[in-house]
Amino acid sequence: MKRVHVYGAFDNPRSPELRILHEASRLGALTVLLQGDEAFERATGKPPKMSLAERKYYFEALRFVDKVEEAPADPAAAGIELVDPARLDLAGFPYDAPPIDAPRAAGAKRVIVTGCYDWLHTGHLRFFEEASEYGELNVVIGSDANVRFLKGEGHPLFTQDERRYVVGSFRAVARCLVATGSGWLDAEPEIKALGIDRYVVNEDGDKAEKRRYCEEQGIEYIVLKRTPKEGLPRRSSTSLRGY
């Protein structure tokens, strides 16, 4: 299979960077060449928000990335032909979730996590990975209308289609859906349709309504501590977006 290369700093990545990588991966097995921390600081005069180790962790988790490496100082001089993003079709947020009624793996539990996931970072990624250890992971994100209802005007920062695309890009996530209900239990219709066995939350997302609902429905309720990937910093959306 042909190997293709994309080069960049990709610091604090968002959907446009993922779209470039996704479309490039359609051309062949994709290697992402990440600009090193020192090279980034020389070019910009400041360190990256995310270290090379953190960026490498993030991009290795994407389902359409085959390999991630630190880039040589001059990829062209090293004889590496790079994909030109200007020649890619980057329109829209193409994501096809497996049907809700698709059969699960034999003996597998169905797991759900819910949230807005408006500015997805490595803390969220680590949470997805830990939650996926409990079974087939289904992430149900809040609709634009419900996020606005819960958080107020100005939210979400990104549309539900864009947020679903980003969340669904990670290998740990078996399926990403947009909730059709409202309030803190906006995912109730999806919970019933999927036949969820386990509801996983982090400490921040632990709500009395969720606990009570799971007790009533016979769903195992699991609370995880917010623990970053070993060697990486604890992350928050506020610190990364800067406001």
Q: 237 and 118 in one domain?
A: yes
Q: 150 and 78 in one domain?
A: no
Q: 235 and 134 in one domain?
A: yes
Domain-located, residue 105 = no
Given a contact cutoff of 8 angstroms between Cβ atoms, the answer to whether 177 and 141 are in contact is yes
What would the mean pLDDT of 75-84 be, rounded to a whole number? 95
What would the mean pLDDT of 193-199 be, rounded to a whole number? 97
Q: Say what the pTM is.
A: 0.96
What would the mean pLDDT of 100-110 be, rounded to a whole number? 90
Note the pLDDT of residue 149: 94
Q: 130 and 227 in one domain?
A: yes
Domain-located, residue 98 = no
Number of domains in the chain: 2
Closest CA to 34 of 62, 61, 5: 5
Reported as a single tens digit per residue, the pLDDT across 137-195 is: 999 999 999 999 999 999 999 999 999 999 999 999 999 999 999 998 999 999 999 99
pLDDT of 68 above 90: yes
**Strands, DSSP E only, in the chain?**
3-8, 29-34, 67-70, 110-115, 136-141, 175-178, 198-202, 220-224
Q: 70 and 144 in one domain?
A: no
Q: 141 and 49 in one domain?
A: no
- In percent, how much of the chain has pLDDT > 70? 99
Domain containing 141: what range?
A: 110-241
Name, in order, each residue with C-beta under 8 angstroms of 158's C-beta and a sequence gap of 6 or more: 14, 15, 118, 119, 166
Given a contact cutoff of 8 angstroms between Cβ atoms, the answer to whether 154 and 243 are in contact is no
Helix count and strand count (H, E) for the chain:
9, 8
Peptide bond preceding 156 in cis form (omega within 30 of 0): yes
Q: 151 and 40 in one domain?
A: no
Reported as a single tens digit per residue, the pLDDT across 11-56 is: 999 999 999 999 999 999 999 999 999 999 999 999 999 999 999 9
Residues 122-138 as b/e (b if ≥16 CB within 10 A, e otherwise) read bbbbbbbbbbbebbbbb
Note the pLDDT of residue 240: 77
pLDDT category, 243, cuts 50, 70, 90? low
Note the pLDDT of residue 242: 67
Domain-located, residue 167 = yes
Domain-located, residue 93 = no
Note the pLDDT of residue 176: 98
Residue type (1 letter), 23: E
Q: 174 and 237 in one domain?
A: yes
Q: 205 and 145 in one domain?
A: yes
pLDDT category, 241, cuts 50, 70, 90? confident
How many C-beta neighbours within 10 Å does residue 223 have?
Answer: 13
Domain containing residue 194: CATH number:
3.40.50.620
Domain-located, residue 104 = no
Q: 8 and 75 in one domain?
A: yes
